[in-house]
């Protein structure tokens, strides 16, 4: 409990701090090279709901019999990225083509109202996966099929694939083009709801068991946004776009569900860049507030 409160206080303090990195105006590029940013869909842009029948809330889309909750910051992130004239957005999902297209058509940018399908450079599906030759169906799906980024572009130094499962990466030249976000969980509006679900379904590995797992899952795309923003602006030296993203993602350990001052810095900056659509602490936990946490220190 103390660790949770201290961590939340840290985020509160960072909320009032100014972002250290200056921004280029949208559309002003450090490079004119085309940068491909590829998004996985399931567990990256959208998450499944634990109790679909009992769910009441916004940012939910239905396809067939399934309901999906749009992840926090997902649409805002893409809307900011397409302001860069040299950025191309694609989607690469292991889902079936019909489902993917219907879902992307229903996901629309907050301001422009353009669907993700309409703005996409390319949309790749199950049929576009590269089989590894493993026939045994008891072996994990991500070990039997890979996401071949050469189907989008062979310029891997200027391409980033954002995915929750690193096993889909083809080892070698493509692996360092993956921004591995780590395990994503079923959506819960609050950690208390996740705890209640865990009691009823203790063996479900997609229910967050700790506060860190729940909050990091909710806030991950804000950190992804800051990684991409810094890399697009080439603020980290002479490395390629893909190398910038790879090194920054390692630096803040984005695939791990832990807290750090560096991760908090990226989270705060990403939240500001994406329009500060939500109160940061409300995203962490609706029961917490900066005032309530800081009052004993005042």
Q: Which residue has the higher pLDDT, 191 or 146?
A: 146
pLDDT number for residue 260 = 85
pLDDT greater than 80 at residue 19:
no
User: Tell me, what DSSP letter sits at residue 18?
Assistant: P
Total number of domains in the chain: 1
> How far apart, in Å, are the Cα atoms of 288 and each of 190, 255, 278, 293?
11, 25, 14, 7
- Of all residues in the chain, what percent carry a pLDDT higher than 70? 78
∠ Cα 61 229 142 (to 5°)? 55
pLDDT greater than 60 at residue 123:
yes
Integer Cα distance of 71 and 188 in angstroms: 11
Nearest to 71 by CA among 161, 169, 181, 153: 181
179 occurs within a structural domain: yes
pLDDT greater than 80 at residue 277:
no
State the average pLDDT over residues 100-125.
Answer: 96
292 occurs within a structural domain: yes
What is the crossing angle of helices 261-273 and 211-232, to 10°? 60
pLDDT number for residue 108 = 96
pLDDT number for residue 212 = 85
23 occurs within a structural domain: no
Distance from the Cα of residue 97 to its chain's centroid: 22
How is the beta sheet containing 66-70 ordered, strand by strand?
46-48, 66-70, 60-63
278 occurs within a structural domain: yes
Where in the sequence is the domain holding 244, given as residue range(s)? 33-297
Interacting residues of 200 by C-beta distance below 8 A, sequence separation 6+: none
**In this predicted model, what pLDDT tens digit does every residue of 166-188 receive, in sequence order?**
999 999 989 999 999 998 898 88
What is the crossing angle of helices 211-232 and 191-200, to 10°? 130
14 occurs within a structural domain: no
**In this predicted model, what pLDDT tens digit does every residue of 88-111 receive, in sequence order?**
999 999 999 999 999 999 999 999
pTM: 0.83
Distance from the Cα of residue 218 to its chain's centroid: 9
**In this predicted model, what pLDDT tens digit does every residue of 20-53 receive, in sequence order?**
444 444 444 445 789 999 999 999 999 987 776 6
User: Tell me, what DSSP letter sits at residue 176?
Assistant: G
Integer Cα distance of 26 and 48 in angstroms: 33
pLDDT greater than 90 at residue 199:
yes
Q: What residues pair up with 115 in beta bridges, in sequence order?
A: 108
8 occurs within a structural domain: no
- CB-based contact 70:45 (threshold 8 Å): yes
Integer Cα distance of 10 and 107 in angstroms: 33
| Per-residue confidence band for 233, with pLDDT thresholds at 50, 70 and 90 | confident
pLDDT number for residue 268 = 87
Average pLDDT, the chain: 83
- Output the domain CATH number for residue 138: 3.40.50
State the average pLDDT over residues 271-296.
Answer: 50
Best-predicted range by mean pLDDT (76-80, 202-206, 270-274): 76-80
Q: Which residue has the tokens 């950690």?
A: 191
pLDDT number for residue 290 = 40
127 occurs within a structural domain: yes
Integer Cα distance of 232 and 254 in angstroms: 18
pLDDT number for residue 257 = 82
Strand 35-39 to 159-163 pairing: parallel
Q: Which residue has the tokens 């070990």?
A: 143
21 occurs within a structural domain: no
- CB-based contact 110:79 (threshold 8 Å): yes
């Amino acid at each position: 409990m103390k660790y949770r409160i201290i961590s939340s206080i840290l985020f509160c303090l960072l909320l009032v701090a100014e972002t250290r990195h200056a921004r280029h105006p949208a559309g002003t590029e450090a490079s004119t090279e085309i940068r491909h940013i590829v998004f996985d869909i399931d567990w990256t842009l959208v998450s499944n709901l634990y109790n679909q029948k009992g769910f009441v809330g916004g940012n939910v889309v239905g396809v067939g019999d399934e309901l999906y909750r749009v992840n926090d910051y997902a649409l805002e992130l893409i809307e900011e990225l397409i302001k860069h004239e040299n950025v191309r957005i694609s989607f690469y999902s292991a889902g079936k083509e019909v489902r993917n297209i219907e879902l992307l058509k229903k996901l629309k940018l907050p301001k422009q109202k353009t669907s993700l399908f309409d703005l996409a450079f390319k949309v790749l599906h199950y049929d576009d996966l590269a089989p590894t030759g493993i026939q045994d169906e008891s072996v994990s799906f991500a070990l039997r099929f890979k996401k071949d980024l050469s189907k989008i572009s062979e310029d891997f130094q200027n391409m980033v694939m954002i995915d929750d499962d690193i096993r889909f990466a083809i080892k070698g030249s493509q692996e360092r083009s993956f921004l591995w976000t780590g395990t994503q969980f079923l959506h819960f509006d609050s950690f208390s709801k996740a705890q209640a679900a865990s009691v009823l379904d203790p063996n479900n590995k997609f229910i967050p068991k700790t506060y860190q797992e729940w909050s990091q899952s909710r806030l991950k795309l804000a950190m992804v946004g800051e990684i991409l923003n810094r890399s697009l602006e080439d603020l980290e030296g002479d490395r390629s776009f893909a190398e910038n993203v790879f090194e920054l993602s390692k630096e803040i350990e984005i695939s791990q569900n832990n807290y750090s001052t560096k991760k908090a810095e990226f989270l705060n900056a990403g939240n500001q860049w994406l329009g500060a659509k939500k109160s940061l602490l409300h995203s962490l936990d609706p029961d917490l507030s900066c005032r309530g946490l800081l009052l004993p220190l005042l």
